Amino acid sequence: MPKHYLGRLAAVALLGGLLGVVTSLSNHGHGPAPAYSSQLLDAAWTWVAVGLLAGFAARRWVHSALASAVTFWAAILCYDLADLRYGVYSSLASSADLTSRTTDWLGLIGDLIGYSLVGVVASAGLASIILVIRRGGILGLLAQLVVPAYALQGSLTRVRDAFTVESATHELVTVNRAVSVISSATIALLLLLGLARLILRAVAKRSTTPRSVLSSAPSE
């Protein structure tokens, strides 16, 4: 494995670790505006977007999938360890002794293994998306829309579900509506740029085609 690729793996692992730690900190009320940042960082599409970004660190499918997986593994490990630090996996050892607490190590290990397996599956899918994006064309354009479309669907769903169960907060609604607007604008921009690129490419290809070939084409 090339040394430069190992360096990139270290970089994406650091990125994933930061994502996991900052997400846990926000969920437990730490950092700048945690009520808002937790809505953004704890969303599945945020982690997917970071995994997609990490996948672009490599050219080959297998290396791209590994880069995304390393990002997810680092994020999951740091997130769960931070949650462990904040007592998520702790409980009272007995109702009689309120000072004695026990750690649910089985639950921690189960979460690490379970979410790591999900990360492997997601990494394979993201690497495939990156492969299609790099090939270009109509399929490449559609592949570019997958993550912003997922973010749009996820943000709209979170707002809808929150109002359905009457648990909508100002922070939840504000952040997710902002994400839905940004995602919609991103989709529109990618579509416009992608279609313009395809049209220009088709025009350039036609302009370089010899006239003899064009004249010999059957006319209706």
Residues 86 and 108: beta-carbon distance below 8 Å: no
Give 76-104 pLDDT, tens digit per residue.
999 999 999 998 998 766 555 556 678 88
CA 131 to chain CA mean position, Å: 16
Please give the Cα distance from 117 to 55 (Å, whole number). 17
d(CA 217, CA 158): 54
- Amino acid symbol at 209: T
| Token couple for 113 | 């293994």
Distance CA 85, CA 78 (A): 10
Q: What is the predicted pLDDT for the residue at 91?
A: 79
Mean pLDDT, rounded, for 203-211? 74
SS (H, E, C) the chain: CCHHHHHHHHHHHHHHHHHHHHHHHHHCCCCCCHHHHHHHHCCHHHHHHHHHHHHCCCCCHHHHHHHHHHHHHHHHHHHHHHHHHCCCCEEECCCCCCCCEEECHHHHHHHHHHHHHHHHHHHHHHHHHHHHHHHCHHHHHHHHCHHHHHHHHHHHHHHHHHHHCCCCCHHHHHHHHHHHHHHHHHHHHHHHHHHHHHHHHHHHHHHCCCHHHHHHCCCC
Task: Give the tokens for residue 135.
Answer: 């090939």
- pLDDT > 90: what percent of the chain? 67
Report the DSSP pairing between strands 101-103 and 90-92.
antiparallel
Note the pLDDT tens digit of each residue in 25-67: 999 988 778 889 999 999 999 999 999 999 999 989 999 999 9
* 25 alpha carbon, distance to own chain's centre: 19
pLDDT in tens, 126-174: 999 999 999 989 999 999 999 999 999 999 999 999 888 878 888 899 9
For the cut 60, the answer to whether the pLDDT of residue 211 exceeds it is no
